[in-house]
Amino acid sequence: MVADIFKAVYEFVKTIPQGKVTTYGVIGKKLGINPRVVGYALHSNPEKRVIPCHRVVFKDGSLAKGFVFGGEEGQRALLETEGVSFSAVSKVDASCIL
């Protein structure tokens, strides 16, 4: 059961285009699960080059301190290479959030 939920999260995250992000809450709402479960799934990402978990942020545009592939700095670097812009307070620019 948990494996099916995680798989659904991974499949959804694969649909987020480069240069855009979405939130844990949006994914949770679309899949009918708690946003924390989305976070647990992404923290266990088995294929970081295939499943772009760095494209998932908090609802206010802030980054995950516990981002498994390098913390906030690692997540920001990956997003910036894809053209995601940030506000002066280091949050993803609202125009990049789906």
Amino acid, res. 71: G
* Rounded Cα distance, 53 and 11, in Å: 11
Q: Where are the beta strands (DSSP E) in 2-94?
A: 22-23, 56-57
15: phi then psi, degrees, rounded to nearest 5 = -85, -5
Which residue of the set 53, 64, 84, 92 is catalytic?
A: 53
Amino acid, res. 84: V
Residue 15, both tokens: 């649909």
H-helix or E-strand spanning residue 62: none
Catalytic residue check, 96 = no
Catalytic positions: 53
